[in-house]
Structure formats: structure tokens, C-alpha cells
Structure 1
Amino acid sequence: MRRFTVAPRPFRARAPRGVPPTVLPRHVGVIMDGNRRWARAAGLASPSLGHRAGADHLEDLLGWLRRRGIDHVSVYVLSADNIRKRSSSEVDYLFDLIRTGVPAKVERSRWWQLHIAGDLSLLPDECRVALEDAMAATTGRPGHLTLAIGYDPKHDVASAIRTVLRRNGPVTPDDLPAAITAALPGGPVKDIDLIIRTSGERRISGFFPWQSQRAEIHFSDKMWPAFGERDLDAALADYSERKTVISARHR
């Protein structure tokens, strides 16, 4: 089957207004949006082929981030709302992509440990088992990749609160925020520093709200399959500039 890729480019950070990317985020979040619109613009026979291109492109992103020393990544793949509202044929195609593509890409990297945030009971058994097997197979790796699949932001936070109360019983108000953060799914670094959303949309659509409360947000007009390495560099440079300005204000 044909694999859609975006050719990698060498690392050449281009900072907005000439500011070098001296400050890098530790944890990057990505909302991969625009797959279907990209497919239509490319004249592909089915919008679903945009989802395949987007799934293939995740592997490129992971390589770019690793080369820049960023080892904590959270990616919005499929919301619970998408599962409920999109056509069954499209959702089944997405499930098949997740089942066959995600575990192989993560295991092949030999770097990323897979974490899943979301309600896996919404997925078919074969898809759920494939993800659970991939999480077990990648345990102990240095990089941490959290994929939001079957994700609902309110359920995510509520589930963490239930976990805290079940494990610890009553918790003081001062201790509760840290306990909730620790109970959330994902790697050891929960707080997201930079969110990148593609496709030109100016919203974050419930993307890890607890973890993203202090995140900088970078909106790219590129559709996700067309988002290139230089676009990532621009997002990192934008983050660096903002952090440099904030640091200067507090001196």
C-alpha cells in the first residue's frame, strides 16, 4: 500500500523576527488536524487517504523531535466525540490505521515508550489489544509518547480524581492538584510547554486541559500531512521568542 510522506529537511531553525531558538520546550503537544482537507486538495480518491498520510507523518515528527532533544510528546489522534459522530466507515478506517500503524511505528523507533490517554473500551478489541501490547513492549524506553485515542477531556480529569480518591482516600486541598497531575495518563513529565495545532484552526478542542494550562500555543496554517520540519522549527522558534521575552520582563 502506498505510503504518503513529507520529505525530511535538515535542521535549520528560523526564528520569527530573527530571534534564535535558544529555549526549547521539554514537552510538546500536537493537534494533528487537516488530514481530510489535505486529501481533497491533493485530489485523492478518498478523504480517508488523508488519515493514512497523517498517520505515516507521525513517524516523521517523532524523528524530528528526537533529533532536537525533545523526549516528551503528546498527540491528539482521535477523540471520543469523533468516534460517536463520524461515519462508521471513516471510524472503522481510523481504527484499522491505529491498529496496524501506531504500534509498528512506535516499536520501530526503539526510543519512544507508548502511553495512551482515553477510553480504550470505545475501540474494537483487536485495536485495543494492539495498543496495550505496544505499551507493554515499549516500557522503559527514554522517550515518552502519549496518544489521545478515544479521548474526552472531562473524563480524563474526572478519572484522575477518582484514582486519587481510591488510592489515597481524603486529600487536602493543597495536595489535590499535584495528586491529580500524577494520576493522569502519560509519561513522567505531565505539563505541556508548547501546543502546535495545524490546519489554521484557532482552538485547542479540549486537548489535555489540565496538562496544558501554562502551555504556549502555536497555530500553523499547514494541513497536518504538509506540516514540515521547517514548520516545526518555526513553532519552536516562536516558543523560544515568547519565553525569552517573558524572562526579560521578570529580570
Structure 2
Amino acid sequence: MGENFPYHVAIIMDGNGRWAKQQGKNRTYGHYIGSNVVDRIVEAAIDEGVRYLTLYTFSTENWKRPKSEIRFLMVLLKKQLVKKRDLFLKKNVRFGVIGEIDSFDEQIRENIEGLIEATQNNTGLRVNLALNYGGRYEIVRAARQIAEEVKRGDIDPNQIDEGLFARYLYAHDIPDVDLLIRTGGEKRVSNFLLWQISYAEFVFVDKYWPEFTRDDLRAAIEEFKRRKRRFGGL
């Protein structure tokens, strides 16, 4: 496929609630349908040759939503983590999480750890869920950890460069994002992967996430291929 291919695709899965309201349903119905869309997009990403897929699932800001909606999302997350096991094992998907999972209850943490362990030897698509994730906090967290090591004398401040800093980010073992897709018609990044999207190409889709299809993913990839990526050069 060559260099002009988005090996790492990140998606802001926006519009579940608005889509549900259009259908005359509660917002929670949109989240339920949206969680199932993940399955077909994972399969589509595999078919297209994507190697890393990072999905913005629950942000640090999402805790501000109504308590009833948060309760539903937590129950849905538990069920989906169990459900995804069969799909990921069948499709050779390796699972990972970025974010502060300590804020979730014990059952969710166990389900996360169980899925990570069950798929750790898989060699296909790497799927990362961003859970209780915030891009600014990720950078602050990395800076704090580096500062602690400088204080202990383990790092010389003159050693600190972009490469060293990146090793302290959550998903330090995967490459930066090539293509960022946002559904739902909004055109902002919403505190998502601020470091990793520095040179990403953005594709904004008017469709809500429950409407997003494998053809939409393919169209975004084709749009990426048509763009000229100069990385600041000529």
C-alpha cells in the first residue's frame, strides 16, 4: 500500500444521542446502536488494511452528562467488553485502552484487563478504546512523570526531546495518527490525541455515528490517499 495510506486511523464517534432523538428514541438507544457499529467498522478496518484503530469512547468530560446516561453507558461498556471478546479472537485483533481506568468500577476494570490479556498474542489490527481519556491530561501526566524522574536524577533535562516525551504517553508503542475521522457534523478535535494528531489528516463526516458504514470508512481512506502530506516540507 505504500506510504500514502492511513495505517493508524482514529475516530471521534459523535452523534449517537442526536441520531436517537431524530428516531424519536432516548439518547441511550443511540449509544446502544453506536456500540454495535463498532463491530462492523473494526471488520472494515481489517479489510482495508488499517493496522491501528483508536476510538474515542468515553472522555474525561463525559462525566458531566446526566447520571442516568452515565449509568447506562457503564452497563453498556461492561456488556460490550465481554461481547467484543469473540469478535476480537476470531479476527486476530489485539485490544488496548488509553485513559485513566481507575475511575471505573471493579467489574469494568476486570473486563478491560481480561480482554487485553485474552488478545495480547493476536497479531492483526490493534484496537484502542479511549476510556476516561483527555488529551491535555495525557500530556500533563507525561510531564509529571518525566519531572519525577528528573527529580530522582534518572533523566538529565537535556535528554528531553519529542522522542523521549512520547514514551510517557498512554499508547507509546504505536505510531502517531495518520487519519482522524469525526462523525456527527462537528469540526473540532475535542481534546482527543492532541500530541498524536500533530500531522494527521482530518475528515469530517456529516453522518451520525450510528449511520457510519464501511463505505464511509473506505471513502475517508480514499480522501486521505488523494491528499499531499508534506510534514512542513515542500
Q: TM-score, normalised by structure 2?
A: 0.88
| 2:99 aligned with 1:118 | yes
In 1: Cα distance, 2:172 partner to 2:81 partner: 17
Q: State the Cα distance separating 1:230 from its structure 2 match.
A: 1.6
* Residue pair 1:144, 1:187 contacting (<8 A) in 2 also: no
Q: State the Cα distance separating 1:153 from its structure 2 match.
A: 1.5
1:10 match? none
Partner residue of 1:104 out of 79, 83, 90: 83
Q: TM-score, normalised by structure 1?
A: 0.82
Question: For structure 2, which runs of at least 5 residues remain unmatched after alignment?
Answer: none
| 2:59 aligned with 1:79 | yes
The C-alpha deviation readout for 1:117-171, integer Å capped at 9, x for no partner, is 1111221221122112211221122221111111122221222233445567224
In 1: Cα distance, 2:28 partner to 2:156 partner: 46
Count of residue pairs brought into register by the alignment: 226
One-letter identity of the residue aligned with 2:128: T
Partner residue of 2:22 out of 36, 41, 44: 41
* Residue pair 1:33, 1:224 contacting (<8 A) in 2 also: yes
* Residue pair 2:11, 2:180 contacting (<8 A) in 1 also: yes
Please provide the CA RMSD for this pair: 2.2
1:70 match? 50
In 1: Cα distance, 2:161 partner to 2:110 partner: 33
The C-alpha deviation readout for 1:31-88, integer Å capped at 9, x for no partner, is 00000111111222x21010011111111111000011111011100111111x1111
Question: For structure 1, which runs of at least 5 residues remain unmatched after alignment?
Answer: 1-20
Q: State the Cα distance separating 1:180 from its structure 2 match.
A: 2.2
Q: Alpha carbons of 1:87 and 1:75: their partners in 2 closer, same or farther (altered >3 Å)?
A: same
Partner residue of 1:207 out of 181, 189, 192: 192
1:3 match? none
2:171 match? 186
1:198 match? 183
2:136 match? 154
Instruction: Give the SS at the match of 2:167.
Output: helix
1:177 match? 162
